Every structure is written in C-alpha cells, then in structure tokens.
A and B are shown apart, each in its own frame.
Chain A
Amino acid sequence: MATSSERSPPPFPDSEDQDVLETEEVGGRDSDEDDGDDLFMSTSNPPLTGMDSILSPTIEPSNVLIKPPVDLMDDPLFEPVSIQTANTPSSKVMSDHSDDFVDLTNNITDSPDEEDTAESPVAHPEEDKTEIPLDEPAEEFEDIFGSETEAPQEEVVEADVTVEETPTDKVEEDRSVTVPPVDGKTGSDEEGEAIETSTDPIINLGADLRAVETEQPPPASQAFVDPLEDLLSEVSPAAETQQPPPASVTFADPLVDVIIDDSPPAETQELPPASVTFADPLVDVIIDDSPPAETQEPPRASDTFADPLVDVIIDDSPPAETQEPPRASGTFADPLVDVIIDDSPPAETQEPPRASEAFFDPLEDLLSAVSPATETQQPPPASKTFSDPLVDLLSGAASAAEAKIATPATVDLFDEEGSDFFTEAWQTKPAKQQKSLFGEADEDLFGEPLGATSKKADSTPAEPADLFSEEAVATVPIVKNTSAASSKTNGVHSEEDMDIFAEATVELSLDSPREERKKDVTVAPSTSAAPPLSAAASLVKPQAAALEELEEEEEQEDTFEILVSVKDPEKVGDGMNAYMGYKVTTQTQMPMFRNKTFTVRRRFSDFLGLYEKLSEKHGPNGFIVPPPPEKSILGMTKVKVGKDDSSAADFVERRRAALERYLQRVVNHPSLLQDPDVREFLERDELPRATSTQALSGAGFLKMINKATDAVSKMTIKMNESDVWFEEKLQEVESSDQHFRKLHALVESLVVHRKELSLNTAGFAKSTAMLGSAEDNTALSRALSQLAEVEDKMEQLHQDQAANDTFSFAELIADYIRLLGAVRGSFDHRMKAWQRWQDAQTALQKKRETEAKLLWANKPDKLQLAKEEIAEWEAKVTQYERDFERVSATVRKEVVRFEKEKARNCKREIINYLECLLQSQQQLIKYWEAFLPEAKAIA
C-alpha cells in the first residue's frame, strides 16, 4: 500500500501540480530510462538468474524462439520462420493464439504495433530471461503509461487478475464466447482480440508474477508506480504516438466485444479486486489509474490514448529515444487489456486455427495493400513470436504455471525489445519499430522523422490526434486519418485505416460505440485530411516558435482554387412568407467536386443553417467558424413589404455581398471546406429546409436560453490562464473588437454625413439653377446653370462614395466585428473545455477523499467501488485535459490563421476602397475642369 500512497499524489492533481509533476517526472523518467538501459545491458548478459527458477520450462522454449526472433527483428522475414519452428513444439493452440494476435493487430492499426512488440518481446526473452525482464517490464509499463496512461494501468490490473484467478476457467469462458464468432472476419476479429488479450495477460502476468514472486515485487511495483506517474504526468513518447491510437482503437473494440458477447463485464470488474488482493502495491497503483474506465468506456480510453500521442509528438525528436520503450509498452498494454477482458488464453487454444487464419488474412490484406512484402512478412513473425510464448504458457500449466510461463515469454519479449533498442542505435530502432507497427506508413513517417523529421512525424501524429479529437464528437477520427494523407505514407495509412475500420465495423456491429464509429467512418471518408493535419501540427508545437511554421504550412494550404459567388437576389413568394433566394455559383479546380462550375439556389435561412451546422460541429473544437450576416427583421420586412425604395435595395445588396464574403470565407477555410455539409450546400440541388434558424421558433428560443446560460457561466468561470499567449490574444481580440465597433460607428456616421452632403449638394444645385435663371447677365446665368450641373454630378459622386463607404469600408469592419465575435467564441469553447477538465479534477479529488475515508473505515467492498470510480474519473480527467489541450492548440492555430487572413483580406479591401475614392476624386477633377472655362467666360 505504500506504493499506492506514494502514488496517489501524482496522477491527476491540479493543473499546476501536474505541471510540476511533469517536470519532476521527466527527470525521474530519464533516470528510469537510464536504469532501463543498464538493465537491458545487464539482462542480455546475465539472463536466467532469478527468473529461471520459475520460468525454466517455458523459458527455454522462449529462448529458443527468442533468438530467432531477435534475428528476425532485424530481418523480419526470418523471424517468422524461426518463430514458427519454436511454436510448433509448443502446440497448435499456441499458433492459434498467435494467429489471434495477428488478427487483432491486423484488425486494428495497432496490430502492427502489437506485432512489433510481440516480436520484440520474443526476441528479448532469449537473451534476458531473469530479473532483467522484471525491470524491463516495469519500464515498459512506464512507457506504456507514458504513452497511454489508462491502458497500461488497466492492463496491469488485468494481468494480475488473470494470474490469480485460474486463467483456464476464464479461458474456457472466453472460448465459448469466442468460438461462436467463428464466421470469417468477425470471428477472426474476436479471436484476434482474444488472442491479444491473452498475450497481454501473459505478458502482464509475467511481469507481475516476476515482480511478486521473484523476490523483486517491491522494485517492480515501484518501477510500475514511477512509470505510471511519468506516463500520467508526461505522456510523452513521441514514437508511440502512432501506436497508441491504434492500440486504443483495438482496445475499445475488444472491450466492447467482450462485454457484449460474454458476461465479461462482471469478470473484468471482478478481476481488478482479485488483482488487488494479489499484489497489493501493484494492484493499488493500477487500480488508482483507470482500469474500470477502460472496460466500460472504451472510446474514452482511446481518447486518452490519443492525447498521449499528441504529447509525444509535441516533445519532438529527443523523446523519440525514450519513446521506444514506451511503444513496446503500449503494444503490450493493448494485448494485456485484451487478454484480461477476454480471459482468453484458454480460448485461444480452441480458437487458434480460425484466429490465425483470420489474422493472417487481414494482415496480409492490409499489408499487401498498404505496404510491400516485407511488411506482410513481418506480421506473421510477430504472431509467431507471440504464439510461442503463448504456447509455452499453455503447455506449462493452465493457471499459475501458465502465468509464470507467460511471464518469461513476456520477459523475453521485453528483453529483446530493450536489447534491440539499446544495442542498436536509438534512431534506427524507433524507425524499425514503427515500421513493423504500421507497415510502410510508419517507416516513412518515422524513418524520416528521427533525422530530419519533425514535419513528417507531425503529420503522422496528427492523425491520431485528429482521430481522438473527433472521437469526442463521436466519430470520424479514423476517416480523418485516412484523409490526412498528405504524403505517400499518409496514403498508405489511410488505406490501412480504412480496412481496419471496415473490419471493425463488422466486428463491432453489436457494440453501440462501434456503430457510431461506423457511421463516422462512412461519413468521414469525405472529410479531408487537411484539418486534422493542421490540428495535429498545432498540437505538436505549442511553443510560439512553432507558430511560424504553422503559418508557412497554412500558406501552402490556403491556395485553394475555389471561388464562390452569390448573385441574383430574388424575392420568392409574397407577403410575410416571402424570402430572398440567391444564386450560389461555385467555380473550382478542386478534384473533390464533381464539376468545375455549378450553381444552386439557396435562401437566406440555408446560409444560417449551414452556419448552425458548422458551428455545432467545429465550434467546440476551437475552430473559428465564419459567421453569416445577422438576421434583420427590419430590413427583411422592408423587402417583404415590397417597397422599391432604395433602402430595401440597399439592404438586399448589402446582404448579398455579406453572404458572398461569408461563403468565400468558409470555403477558404481548409477544414471547413472538407465538411460534407459545406459541399452539400454548394453542390446539392435541394437542401432540406433549415430549421431552427427562425428567430421566433422554439429552437430560436432555446438558442436564446442557451446564450443566456452561456453568458452567465462565462461570468462565473474564472479561468486562471496558464498560457500567456491566450491571455494576450484574448485581450487583443477584445480591444480590437471594441475599436472596430467604434470605427464602425464612425464610418456609419461618415456615411450619414456623406449622404447629407449629397442631399445638400442636390439642394444647392437646384437653387443655383434657379439663381442662374434669375440672373440677368447671360454669361453669368450660363455659368450659374453650369455650376448647378456640376453640383448635380457632385451629388451623384457623393452618393456613390457613400455607397462605397458602406460596402467597402463599413461592411468590411462589420465583417470583422462578426469574425472577432467568432474568435471570442472559440476562446469561450476553450474555456469551457478547461472548466470541464477542472470540474472533473475536483470530482476526482472528492472521489479520492472518499476512498481515503473508506480505507480508514476499512470497508473493502465499498472501497472497490470507490476505486473504480476514481479510475473512471481519472480517465475523464485525462480525457478532458486532452480535450482542453487539443482545443487550445486548435484555437491557437485558428487565431493565427485568422490574423493572417485578416491582414491579407484587409489590405485587399482597403486598396479596393481607396481605389474607389481615387476614382471619385478623379471624376471630381474632370467636372471642375470642365466648369473652369465657363467661369472664365463670364464677361
């Protein structure tokens, strides 16, 4: 329990605390890593010491297997063979298991990761059988935690559980469950999951067992704790970033499946307690973190995962080294989770054949589609390696024996990884790992990243980030990833993702979350990668220095060849039901549209509806959604009444121009252009009538209420801003908003005065004409009537200039006032995300307190519940924090983009306006020059 007590502070304290922790942890972590290195180094040399006693039977096989794997690791092709050989002895079941793993990996993008990890572990076992494994696992766990806080923890817990409880029973249950799905893909997927889970448990068990059994428990626990802390606080591995997302995806699916298919939920819940009982320190630690959360809330787990990835990405290249271990851990974590949930080690034995087949097929498909032969070959090896340990485990004993066996295997795996990592150059390794995990995509991304990188790495990380960010919404992330493809590697990725998802959908049909994903997937394809990329990029580089790069990227992105015009305002209908229809014409060179030019008719409320949709979808993510012109009951009533006076025409023209600018802004926004609603708006002939845009409708009323509550909550939220940049920007935005408003009022008064001048000039012209007619000197009379004419023209000039003031200048300013409102809105969304995070933290804090009380009161039954709740809230906190960071990054990027856009647009408009002024002055010169001889002619 000491560990738990130690641990309690770190995980998710207040933001500030966290920051502190992060820094501390970083340091600690580094040290850990160093230790890890040492350990690994040592492990390779003194392999079998402590572990041998326990693991001896299994270990040997593993060793055998391991050695080839190591080679394999270097040469993927080779590995499979060796592994297979090793496996064959162990048992078919083992092979089945391995298959399952493969399947899982295949199914999910993570699969590659898993495979890699599996491979690596296998390789390691050979070299490091003994104590080293323990250390390594710990490190791995650390890594895992770093990368995926929740997942790792869960895994650990689960592992413990499995160890304690007889795996056989569970396995059997799993079998029953898993077996049913026998059907092609679904069956394979499930099996795959089961396999993964089994492998994971094994690994975990191994680690745990080692820790507990092999005299090393305390260190192990400590190691665990530390890593966890590190992970939670920092969540930093860069390389892992990619892996985690897949892992998360896979995770979610398996979890869901398990729950739905079997009564597993009960199991999962039971397991944690078991684990607790088993190894107190470890369990506690683990429990504190969010195992329950994962089982129940797969998507969230994934979200949390995603965030870590982002973080990793942010860290950039230095982390890469440290990150390698994390990856391994991450992969591990996934399998562990799966195993625990499914309880499938036994199941594997039965399922193996199918699972293996399924696995291989998907993998092959994926790999073949995505990547060259090397990749395809790699996965199988991984599966084999895995299968070997599994086999070992199975052969050894059903329950504890198995667990023990598994541990060796895991140990081996870990050892290998560690050794590989460390023996080989850091840079080269990460790249390899990634490769294996993701196939080509990874290779490209990471291979480049390490050296020259940052950009590509960013792009890849971006995908995960996007995915997860969108997950909050409920969806599309996957799709985005696919779209994200800016480069070849991306394209590869996208394909993989697609396949994975397709499979996932099949698998998940039962699960509701999955279904959502499906939808997302289906929808998502249309959405493009651009937004995610940008978002990811922003996430990657929170530092101010990064902004410049962002800008550069944006400039490249901004060169969209699309032009939208709104023309021909036309009144449709009569009376109060009348409305204005506009012709929206789009000209584009972009391949995403079917035609180069197309025209649709839209009414004003359609524009508003588009905005509603966009702001609902993208607003909470921190995007600045360009606002349309406001509804104007007065102006529209004038139009409806049908008076053909100039003010109605003026109003219509003003609105038409504003709508055009609004649409142009929307399509100029790289992420908004990808929105299906935007394309539908531009392309589709008939749009469903936009509801909820009417000011007096029920929806309108609701909106008003929402606005009011928002305003109130805005006043109540006191955000202690940690980021100076945001603080400054917000102030800047607010003050410029104020000034723009003032300027707008001034320009309006200029317009009024100019109109007055125009009117007065007209009056003078008339009066001069009369005077001229009264004048009895003919020359003077002529001159006076000429003057009257000049003044008449002058009046027209002033009037035009007034219109010019209105359209080019006042409207420009009004646009910016609206846009600044939108900018502030995005700041508000960020604040809301922050508030949610803070709320979750307070809730978590409360839960912790209750736990402490319960602990004091010694009520184990309730304690368990409390722990689960804490884990749940920890997951939420992590997720909300990620959300907040994501939103922050988006807002930052959007604001930079907005400012850039503003500067450019402003300049254009100003020049435009000045040219109008210039013209009118030139005209004025002409008029007076024409008058001059007349004046001189007066005799």
Chain B
Amino acid sequence: MTSTIDESNKEKMRSVSVDLNHDASLLIDIPDALCERDKVKFTVHTKTTLSSFQKPDFSVPRQHEDFIWLHDTLVETEDYAGLIIPPAPPKPDFESPREKMHKLGEGEATMTKEEYSKMKQELEAEYLAVFKKTVQVHEVFLQRVSSHPMLSKDRNFQIFLEYDQDLTVRRKNAKEMFGGFFKNMVKSADEVLISGIKEVDEFFEQEKTFLLDYYSKIKDSTAKAEKMTRSHKNIADDYIHISATLNTLAADDSTANKKHLEKLSDLFEKLRKVEGRVASDEELKLTELLRYYMRDIQAAKDLLYRRARALVDYENSNKALDKARLKSKDIPQAEEHQQQCLHKFDKLSESGKKELTSFKGRRVVAFRKNLIEMAELEIKHAKNNVTLLQGCIELLKSN
C-alpha cells in the first residue's frame, strides 16, 4: 500500500486548522509521504535563509516517531515551560479504511462488479483522505514549531530538520512506556492537588476555568461532529449501492421504465459524489478544526499546569525560607531557591499570558476561516446537487 500526495491537493489542505504567520526565513513542508504497512515515511522539506542551517534547501526522511520525539524533547525542555508546545500529531490511523476494505472484500459476492468497484474506489478515496490528513497534521506541527520565535531556534528542531540520515530515534521501551504512563498519573493527581492552590493572578484564574470548560465542550463537539460526518459518509455510500441496484434493474427492464431507472441511477451516482464531498469537507473543515483545537487546548492546559506547578514550588520555597529563617539555618540557600522559584513562576506567568492571548487570537482566526470555508463549500455542493436534480427532473419530464 503505497501512496503519495500530490502538491496541488496539499496546497489546498495546508494550514487548515491553524493560521500561521509565515516567516519567509524558514519554510517547512511535507511534499511527499510514503506509507509502508504501519510506518509512514514523511519527506520533510525545508527552505531557509537562516545561517544556522548549512544549506538553504534540503529534504530529510522522517517517521511519525521522530515527530513524537521532537514534541517530547520540546515539552521536557525547561526553557519552554512557559510556552504552549504545539500538540503532537496523532498517530497515523489507517485501521478504519483497512478494515472497511477487508469487509468489502468479504462482501464482494453480494455485490455487482460495478458496485464493488465503486465501493472500492470510495474506500481508496477514503484511505487517501486519511493519509493526506495524517501528512497534514504532521506538517502543521512542524510549521507551528517553526513559526514560533523561540521554538524555531531549538537545537533539536534544527537537527530534526537538517540531519540527513534516519534519526533512528530509539523506540520507547516497556519501562519508559510505563514510566510515561506513571508520569501522566502523577501529573493528573498533582493537577488535582494543586487545583486547591489559591490563584494569585485573576487572568490565570479565568483562563483556567475557561480552558477546562472549553475543553470538555470542544471534546464533546468533536465527537458529535465525527459522528455526523460519518453518517453523512454512510449516506453517500448508500447512494452508491442504490445507484448500482438501479442500474441492474434498468439492465433487466425492457420497458419504458428502463430509461427512467437509468437516469435515476445516473443521478444517484452523481449525487453520491457530491454527498461524499460534502461529508469529507465537513470532516476537514469542521471536525479537524475541532479536533486540532481540542489538542491545542490540552497543550494550553499543560502550560497552565506547569505554571501552577511553579506556583506551588514557589510557595513551598517560601515556606522553606520561613522555616530556615526560624532555624536561622541555610537561609541564603533558601532565599536563593525562593528567588529562583519566584523568578521561574514570574517568567512562566509572563510568557504564559502572552501565549494564551495569542492562542485565543489564533483560535478565533482559525474558526473564522474554517467556518467561512465550510459554509461556502456547503453552498457550493448544495448548488451542485440542485443543478443535478433539476437536470434530471427536466430530462424525465421531457420524455
């Protein structure tokens, strides 16, 4: 199973979910991707004027795991604690189209040849769409990193872009996997613990409640939108079967009805294409948007967590300083630690505020863009449908 993405399609899909302030000094895209069984190899192409890179134009092969490694190193870098780290791209998931393809193979006997080939086409299209989406989210991740003033200067990022060999990132072993899981648990528990801490800054207080609320809402919306687009897709699939059956009916029919059935079959075939496009556009413009921002909000929440953690650390250091003063012991260390914590916290708060504000702006712009596009596409498709239907009705009426 090998597929490639062609440039034109990619252009259309680029920056679907995020509005990026393009910096001409560093342009990154994924012009090509190769899917080999479970592994997807992305070709990451970079064009730059920055002197930190050896060449102005280069391409490297990267796998999904490399992206995850990059994301993790960014998250773990202390300096970036005050930033919203762009969410890591989701793992490529070709399971659903593959499964469908399998099912189709099983049901081949019950379908006409034509019907089967149409269904297969449809599934291939679906598979390709998933593939493109996967490439796109990976690209968006890199673009977001590259568009960030601080993250774009990251050494690891530059290595990721430049190193022309396989990164051969070590896969996480079982222990690390477990460790990661444990860390998550601790983080969640910690989140609960520190949630009781009195917020000193009203902005963050507000932001916290908003993000928590918004996250749950957008999560729900994403699930609903997914369902909706899926059922829309089902309808498009139904149209295929109906069209094929009408066609066989027409083939058997020897009366005047034949023509009607053929026309109807034709119509359903065309409608199904439009309907399928409506479904995939909704998926791209709406569901993807929601899904991306769901992850982005998660990243913002992580930022808030890190800040809250820093706040707790600062307060702890305050307490430690008080204790040291009482004991008159190790006061300078405690003071220093307290100062450090305070500094870190202040830094976090400052950059966090900036990040969150920019995030808000970014979100609104992205929503605006996508909603407009979706509405326009819906109108376009509906108009298409109308023309098709009118044409068919006229044809039927005329004879």
Interface residues of A (CB under 8 A from B): 732, 735-736, 739-740, 742-743, 746-747, 749-750, 753-754, 756-757, 760-761, 763-764, 766-768, 770-771, 774-777, 779-780, 783-784, 787, 899-900, 902-904, 906-907, 910-911, 914-915, 917-918, 921-922, 924-925, 928-929, 931-932, 935-936, 938-939
Asked if residues B221 and A767 are in contact (CB atoms below 8 Å), the reply is yes
Given A780-B364, A918-B389, A928-B382: A903 touches B257 (CB 8 Å cut-off): yes
A935 B242 Cβ-Cβ under 8 A: no
Q: Which of B232, B368, B378 contacts A757 (CB 8 A)?
A: B232
Chain B residue at minimal CB-CB distance from A750: B238
B-chain residues with CB within 8 Å of residue A766 when the two chains form the complex? 224
User: Do A906 and B257 form a contact, CB below 8 Å, given A743-B245, A914-B392, A935-B368?
Assistant: yes
A residues less than 8 Å from B203 (CB atoms): none
Residues of A within 8 A of B230 (CB): 760
Rounded to whole angstroms, the CA-CA distance of A622 and B329 in the bound complex is 114
Interface range, B side: 35 or more
11 other A-B residue contacts (CB within 8 Å) besides A746-B241, A780-B367, A918-B393? A739-B252, A750-B242, A753-B231, A757-B231, A760-B224, A768-B221, A906-B257, A914-B396, A918-B389, A925-B382, A932-B379
Q: Are A928 and B379 in contact (CB under 8 A)?
A: yes
A-B contact pairs, 8 of them (CB 8 A): A754-B235, A757-B228, A770-B221, A774-B210, A777-B363, A900-B255, A921-B389, A924-B378
Taking a contact as CB atoms closer than 8 A, the residue among A740, A764, A928 that contacts B221 in the complex is: A764
Per-residue 0/1 for B307-336: is the Cβ within 8 Å of any A Cβ (1 yes, 0 no)?
A: 000000000000000000000000000000
Q: Assess the B367–A932 pair: CB atoms within 8 A.
A: no
* Min C-beta distance of A777 to chain B, whole Å: 5
Number of A-B contacts (CB under 8 A): 160
Of the listed stretches B63-71, B134-142, B369-377, chain A binds B369-377
Q: Is the CB of A743 within 8 A of B249?
A: yes
B242, A747: Cβ atoms closer than 8 Å = yes
B residues within 8 A CB of A735?
A: 252
Q: Give the nearest-CB partner of A913 in chain B.
A: B264
Q: Which residues of B contact A753 (CB under 8 A)?
A: 231, 234-235, 238
Is the Cβ of A767 less than 8 Å from the Cβ of B224?
yes
B16 surroundings in chain A (CB, below 8 A):
none
B224 and A763: CB pair below 8 A? Answer: yes
How many Å lie between the Cα of A746 and that of B371 in the bound state?
33
Which partner residue on chain B sits nearest A777 by CB separation?
Answer: B364
CA distance A743 to B250 in the complex (A): 12
Query: Are B238 and A774 in contact, with the CB atoms below 8 A?
Result: no
Q: Which residues of A sit under 8 angstroms from B234, Cβ to Cβ?
A: 753, 756-757
Contact of A746 among B220, B238, B386 (CB under 8 A): B238
Cα of A304 to Cα of B290 in the assembled complex, Å:
82
Give CA–CA (A754, B275) in the complex, Å.
12
For the complex, what is the distance from the CA of A757 to the CA of B227, rounded to whole Å?
8
Q: Measured between C-beta atoms, what is the minimum distance from B235 to chain A in Å?
A: 5
Does any Cβ of A come within 8 Å of B181's Cβ? no
Tell whether, in the assembled complex, residue A915 and residue B221 are in contact, meaning their CB atoms are under 8 Å apart.
Answer: no
- On chain A, the residues within 8 Å of B364 by CB distance are 777, 779-780, 938-939
Residues on B with C-beta less than 8 A from A787 are 371
Measured in the bound complex, the distance between the Cα atoms of B353 and A605 in whole Å is: 76
- For B210, give the chain A residue with the smallest CB separation: A776
A787 to chain B, nearest CB (A): 7
Chain B nearest CB: distance from A6 CB in Å?
46
Tell yes or no: B178 within 8 A of A by CB: no
Contact of B396 with A907 in the complex, beta carbons under 8 Å: yes
Q: Is the CB of A931 within 8 A of B375?
A: yes
A739: B residues at CB distance < 8 A: 245, 248-249, 252
Is B256 touching A918 in the complex (CB atoms < 8 A)? no
Q: Assuming the A-B contacts A780-B368, A900-B255, are A935 and B375 also in contact, with contact meaning beta carbons closer than 8 angstroms in the complex?
A: yes
Interfacial chain A residues near B371, Cβ < 8 Å: 783, 787, 935, 938
- Whether B396 contacts A911 by the Cβ 8 Å rule is yes
Report if B113 contacts A (CB, 8 A). no
Chain B residues with Cβ under 8 A from A922's Cβ?
Answer: 382, 386
In the assembled complex, the CB of A935 is this many whole angstroms from the nearest CB of chain B, namely 4
* B163 interfacial by beta-carbon distance below 8 Å: no
A756: chain B residues at CB < 8 Å are 231, 234
Chain B residues with Cβ below 8 Å from A749 are 238
Interface residues, chain B, CB within 8 Å of chain A? 210, 213-214, 217-218, 220-221, 224-225, 227-228, 230-232, 234-235, 238-239, 241-242, 245-246, 248-249, 252-257, 260-261, 264, 267, 360, 363-364, 367-368, 371-372, 375-376, 378-379, 382-383, 385-386, 389-390, 392-393, 396-397
A757–B278 CA distance with the chains assembled, in angstroms: 13
CB neighbours of B255 from chain A (8 A): 899-900, 902-903
In the bound complex, what is the Cα–Cα distance between A911 and B383 (angstroms)?
A: 19
Closest CB in chain B relative to A225 CB, distance in Å: 46
In the A-B complex, the 3 residue pairs with the closest CB atoms: A938-B368, A903-B256, A764-B224
Q: How far is the CA of A16 from the CA of B257 in the complex (A)?
A: 36
A902: nearest residue on chain B (CB-CB)? B257
- With both beta carbons as reference points, the residue of chain B lying nearest to A927 in the complex is identified as B378
In the assembled complex, which residues on chain B have CB atoms less than 8 Å from the CB atom of A936?
A: 368, 372
How far does the Cβ of A799 sit from chain B's closest Cβ, in whole Å?
13
Taking a contact as CB atoms under 8 Å apart, the answer to whether B235 and A750 are in contact is yes
Q: How far is the CB of B227 from chain A (nearest CB, A)?
A: 4
> Which of chain A's residues has its CB closest to B214's CB?
A774
Chain A residues in 8 Å Cβ range of B232 = 757
Bound CA–CA A514/B335 (angstroms): 129
Bound Cα distance from A736 to B245, whole angstroms: 10
Chain A residue nearest in CB terms to B234: A753
A935, B289: Cα distance in complex, Å: 15
Q: How distant is A727 from chain B, measured CB to nearest CB, in Å?
A: 14
Structural contact, A771 and B235, CB atoms closer than 8 A: no
Q: Chain A nearest CB: distance from B362 CB in Å? A: 11
A783–B256 alpha-carbon span in the complex (Å): 51
Contact of A938 with B367 at beta-carbon distance under 8 Å, contacts A763-B224, A911-B397 already known = yes
Considering the complex, give the chain A residue whose CB is closest to the CB of B240: A746
Give the nearest-CB partner of B110 in chain A: A742
Complex CA–CA separation, A715 to B227 (angstroms): 49
Q: Which residues of A contact B210 (CB under 8 A)?
A: 774, 776
From the candidates A757, A906, A911, A925, name the one contacting B393 in the complex (CB within 8 A).
Answer: A911
Q: How far is the CB of B69 from chain A (nearest CB, A)?
A: 33
B393 surroundings in chain A (CB, below 8 A): 911, 914-915, 918
Residues of B within 8 A of A784 (CB): 367
The answer to whether A910 and B396 have CB atoms under 8 Å apart is yes
Q: Is A921 touching B245 in the complex (CB atoms < 8 A)?
A: no
Check A743 against B379 for contact (C-beta < 8 Å).
no
A928 touches B228 (CB 8 A): no
CA distance A783 to B364 in the complex (A): 11
Q: Which A residues lie within 8 Å of B360 (CB)?
A: 776-777
CA distance A767 to B230 in the complex (A): 17
| Contact residues in A for B228 (Cβ distance below 8 Å) | 757, 760-761, 763-764
CB distance from A741 to the nearest CB of B (A): 10
With a cutoff of 8 Å between Cβ atoms, the chain B residues found around residue A736 in the complex are: 249, 252-253
Nearest A residue to B239 via CB reads: A750
Residue A914 contacts which of B238, B245, B389 (CB distance < 8 angstroms)?
Answer: B389
Contact residue among B238, B253, B382 (Cβ-Cβ distance under 8 Å from A921): B382
Chain B residues within an 8 Å CB radius of A910: 260, 264, 396
Instruction: List, in ascending order, chain A residues with CB within 8 A of B246's CB.
Output: 743
Contact call A764/B252, Cβ cutoff below 8 A: no
A771 to B231, Cβ gap below 8 A?
A: no
Measured CB to CB, the nearest residue on chain A to B367 is A780
Given the complex of chains A and B, what is the CA–CA distance between A770 and B254 in angstroms? 56
| The one of A771, A779, A924 that contacts B218, using a Cβ cutoff of 8 Å | A771
Question: How distant is the Cα of A739 from the Cα of B224 in the complex, in angstroms?
Answer: 35
Contact yes or no, A760 B238, CB < 8 A: no
A537 to chain B, nearest CB (A): 20
Least CB separation from B235: chain A residue: A753
Closest residue of A by beta carbon distance from B215 = A774
Cβ of B378 and Cβ of A928 under 8 Å apart?
A: yes
Residues of chain B within 8 A of A763, CB atoms compared:
224, 227-228
A853 to B214, CA, bound (A): 103
When distances are taken between beta carbons in the complex, the residues of chain B under 8 Å from A770 are: 217, 220-221
